[in-house]
């Protein structure tokens, strides 16, 4: 039987596309969740990730954060253009800065309670449980996110900017914003503007039409309820 009344609940346009690189977008926060994924190179391996979800009128964006390991606490070094060796923030420091900004922007009071309770955390699972607890009431909060571009396997993919840096004393500080309740607090640096311009002016490369070129989303026991 044809139900013509179903037109009332039919979506007119598709909002299933990922947000494109290099933009500041109005979105709604759609929550965080812990997932397990199977390794692509080694299907016998599984990895736990924290997924943060955002949806807007022109598309969605999910940020996947792999659970840190002991190796994540090590700071790596690189040689800059002047030939000087520079230390970089560890993966663990970058993850914790990301969580601090996400929670601090969406629920400042809840984040303060989470900071106080952090001495009781015994694992990253505990961090995620507390984060999910304080952010659950903030689902559908209107906010803005900054998306840059990352070269992955020859393709420019959307990503959050690096927001963690080290000062001259080697202490961690937050160097940028990826989320805000006010669009004027987000912007691109001169370097990012140069990268954005280079990507937009680059001539497209002729590629064979295969499924691999289709833009698809990445797939990639304390109770902390009293934080509310």
Number of domains in the chain: 1
Answer yes or no: are the C-beta atoms of 201 and 108 closer than 8 Å: no
Residue 26 domain flag = yes
Q: Could you state, in chain order, the average pLDDT of each consecutive group of 10 residues for the chain (228 residues)?
A: 69 73 97 93 90 96 96 93 90 98 98 96 97 98 96 90 95 97 95 87 56 39 54
Strands (E), 15-113: 23-38, 46-56, 59-66, 77-79, 85-87
Residue 114 domain flag = yes
Give a three-class secondary structure readout of 116-140. HHHHHCCCHHHHHHHHHHHHHHHCC
Residues 65, 36, 75, 152, Cα dihedral to 10°: -60
Q: For position 174, what pLDDT does the model report? A: 97
Q: For position 60, what pLDDT does the model report? A: 97
Question: Taking the model in full, what pTM does it have?
Answer: 0.81
- Give tens-digit pLDDT for 191-218: 999 988 888 777 655 544 444 333 334 4
Residue 219 domain flag = no
What separation in angstroms does the CA of 8 have from each of 27, 56, 65? Answer: 24, 21, 38
Residues of the domain holding 163: 15-200
Residue 9 domain flag = no
What separation in angstroms does the CA of 11 have from each of 15, 50, 104, 128, 150? Answer: 9, 29, 34, 33, 32
Answer yes or no: are the C-beta atoms of 37 and 220 closer than 8 Å: yes
Residue 130 domain flag = yes
Residue 10 domain flag = no
The Cα–Cα gap between 140 and 121 comes to 27
Closest by alpha carbon to 101, among 150, 196, 18, 172?
172
Residue 220 domain flag = no
Q: What token pair was written down for 163?
A: 């927001």
């Amino acid at each position: 039987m044809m139900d013509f009344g179903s037109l009332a609940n039919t979506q007119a346009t598709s909002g299933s596309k990922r947000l494109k690189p290099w933009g500041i977008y109005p979105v709604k926060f759609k929550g965080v969740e812990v997932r397990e994924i199977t390794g692509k190179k080694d299907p016998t391996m599984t990895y736990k990730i924290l997924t943060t979800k955002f949806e807007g009128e022109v598309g969605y964006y999910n940020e996947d954060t792999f659970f840190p390991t002991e190796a994540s606490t090590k700071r790596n070094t690189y040689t800059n253009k002047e030939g000087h060796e520079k230390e970089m923030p560890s993966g663990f420091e970058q993850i914790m800065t990301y969580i601090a900004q996400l929670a601090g922007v969406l629920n400042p009071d809840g984040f303060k309670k989470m900071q106080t309770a952090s001495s009781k955390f015994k694992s990253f699972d505990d961090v995620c449980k507390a984060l999910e607890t304080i952010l659950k009431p903030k689902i559908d909060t209107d906010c803005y996110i900054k998306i840059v571009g990352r070269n992955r396997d020859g393709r420019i993919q959307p990503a959050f900017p690096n927001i963690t840096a080290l000062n001259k004393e080697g202490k961690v500080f937050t160097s940028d914003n990826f989320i805000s309740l006010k669009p004027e607090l987000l912007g691109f640096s001169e370097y990012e503007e140069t990268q954005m311009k280079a990507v937009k002016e680059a001539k497209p490369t002729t590629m064979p039409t295969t499924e691999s070129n289709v833009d698809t989303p990445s797939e990639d026991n304390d109770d902390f309820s009293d934080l509310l």
